[in-house]
Amino acid sequence: MTIRKTFARLRSAHEMALIAYETAGFPSLTDSISNIRLLADNGADIIELGIPFSDPIADGPTIQASSHVALEKGISLEQILEIVSHVETETPLVAMSYLNPLLSYGQNHLFEDMKSSGFSGLIIPDLPLEESGDWQRKARENGIDLIFLVTPTTSAERLTALVKASEGFIYCVSLTGITGARTALPPHLSEFIKKVKSLTDKPAAVGFGISTPDHVRQLKGIADGVIVGSRIVRAMKNREDVGALVRGLKEACIES
Amino acid sequence: MSQLPDATGHWGAFGGRYVPETVMTALYELEAEYKAMKKNSSFNREFNQILCQYVGRKTPLYFAERLTRKIGGAKIYLKREDLAHTGAHKINNTIGQILLAKRMSKPRIIAETGAGQHGVATATACALMGLDCDVYMGAVDVKRQRMNVFRMELLGTKVIPVESGSQTLKDAINEAMRDWVTNIENTFYCIGSVVGPHPYPMIVRDFQTIIGQETRRQILDQEGRLPDLLVACVGGGSNAIGLYYPFLEDNAVRIIGVEAAGESIESGKHAASLGQGSPGSLHGAMSYMLQDEHGQVLEAHSISAGLDYPGVGPEHSYLKDIGRVEYVSATDQESLDAFRLLCETEGIIPALESAHAVAHAVKEADNMSQDEIIVVNLSGRGDKDLEIVEGLV
């Protein structure tokens, strides 16, 4: 199913989308692949698969450490695309990758190979709109949604351009900072999301620092989806009950 | 080519702004403020006054007569950046950036440092101007360079050890960027070389161009003509571009950049990003870099901490590709030999970084005639390296 259809279905059911992140290759490649099913079976509506990079400047300690473990095991984008192509799931898969591994793979094959592996979308946190022309075109040609991030420091002018360019959904970064679980949501978050929603009919999902069902509940009626990353990676690392964690988050997306 | 970068911060395919969205607005603000300051006479007056009275500029262009005679070829001149306050060219840039930060009313400064030279230069400028300063430094480097950590602390700066990744300069830059993303509203990131997202490579180059401007006037005054060859070491490349920039349009002047060949190029343990790397995106810019076949950044190796970096400034990548500058390399051993040679022939203890430039310059001098002229950028003094060198030479 496409990202857009997933959001449309959830919207008519008055549910928020739960976008669950995990790092590909963490704790091992096979575990991360079986965790796709685990996340989906317990309520994740979209799965964001992080492609490990040696220098992840937008990530906090949890995702940095998981990327490091994956790279120590020699994980590569080639391997990830290959193994994901064998995963059968209706849940849309979105890749999150820093630019350099993608450049190294080659822009020309990347989108075709992502498509044939079953990916629906791509997030590149260090690719700004200004440098994204070719990437947008190639993504569109291959039916991959190129998802852009907007942040509380994004100017009004940039915000307008970014919501226009972003496909699938708008990734709203909740705060000025890096990824990582936090105790409370930042102030002014609802005003920021409302500002984004006033500019577009595209779904807006909120990520960075979202880690508890209570955080999710506070966003009901404001955002169309939530992205939970570091909290899930931490649960995988500590061998917590990841299924129960995801179910709890999804229940908070459904409650009215 | 001296008109570059273009309006979007590119030198051909290199440069640009490959950073998270959170800092994009701040980069535009910085660019606008910088362009305004560049034309602001009170800013320029203050900058020049500090360079003159506090840093000790202009630095001499010194004819190394005994070294020249010993080699028996071209005349070798040394641009004495080692005589600038804090002992290296780094101070030219930090004075400029911290003045800019002060005028932008940013109360907090952050910086990254490898060996500690840029950290010390930033801490110095912050002490001079009364601003708070935090410096990120790889945990490995904190242990290797204890005296520089102490220097920064004496100057009122907090040194934050970075435990992630290889715990060296590359990781210190990552952590400084994460801090900047988090504290963007009140924090100014003072980058130490001609690397990072636009407008940094341009700003740092402009502040370092004083080196080449002085050299040009001095050589015309002392020799009545331009040099035949310029030589500088290249890690990120700020001392090199500072020397080269005013000569780029003078096609008769050959220009060479010397990267660190570490143990040797063949061993794979080197820092020759331009010589052995390939284009990619690192720390906010497109440039040559050391990377594996999957686009993961490789660790660099050099006896000289200031050259121990897997990337390089985007302008150097451009100058390499258009063929204006030749990039070569010198090994750890060649640099140690040059270090000793300069100590013995001239009574000058060079930084190990600068010794790479000296090592290549004497090879070139040997093949040139006695009426030709080489200018070597002696970017820093070697006191900081004595512990490393002890027992090796």
Residue B143 predicted with pLDDT over 90: no
Cβ of residue A125 closer than 8 Å to a chain B Cβ: yes
Which is catalytic among the residues B112, B259, B315, B364? B112
Whether the predicted pLDDT of A256 surpasses 70:
no
Round the average pLDDT of chain B to a whole number and report it. 96
Is residue A157 among the annotated active site residues?
A: no
> Could B283 and A177 be called an inter-chain contact, meaning their C-beta atoms sit closer than 8 Å?
no
Overall pTM > 0.90: yes
Nearest to A131 among B16, B164, B291 (CB): B16
As a whole number, the mean pLDDT across chain A is 96
- Which pLDDT does position B130 carry in this prediction? 96
Cβ distance B284 to A178 less than 8 Å, yes or no, reads no
Alpha-helix residue ranges (DSSP H) falling in chain A:
3-12, 29-41, 61-72, 77-84, 99-105, 107-117, 133-141, 156-165, 189-198, 213-218, 230-237, 242-254
- Please list, in sequence order, all residues whose beta carbon lies within 8 angstroms of the beta carbon of residue B153, skipping any fewer than 6 positions away: B159
Q: Which domains does chain A have, with CATH numbers?
A: 3-254 (3.20.20.70)
- By the 10 Å C-beta count (0-12 exposed, 13-18 middle, 19+ buried), B154 is classed as exposed
Distance separating alpha carbons of residues A137 and B344, to the nearest angstrom: 61
Query: With a CB-CB cutoff of 8 Å, which residues 32-61 of chain A face chain B?
Result: 53-58, 60-61
Q: Name the pLDDT band for B164 (thresholds 50, 70, 90).
A: confident
Give me the interface pTM, i.e. the ipTM.
0.96
B172 pLDDT more than 70: yes
Mean pLDDT of A21-47: 97
Q: Which residue of B has its CA nearest to A159?
A: B21
Active-site annotation holder among B287, B302, B304, B379: B379
For the CA atoms of A58, B31, B12, B300, the dihedral, rounded to the nearest 10 degrees, stands at -40
B281-327 pLDDT per residue, tens: 999 999 999 999 999 999 999 999 899 999 999 999 999 999 999 99
Kindly indicate the confidence band of residue A19, based on its pLDDT and cuts at 50, 70 and 90: very high
Nearest neighbour of B22 by CB, restricted to A53, A77, A176: A176
| Pick from B20, B26, B293: CB nearest A58 | B20
Query: From the CA of A175, how many Å to the nearest CA of chain B?
Result: 8
| Residues of chain A neighbouring B283 (CB-CB closer than 8 A) | 55, 57
Given a cut of 80, whether residue A115 has pLDDT beyond it is yes
User: Annotated catalytic, A255?
Assistant: no
Q: Provide the pLDDT confidence category of residue B393 given band limits of 50, 70 and 90.
A: low
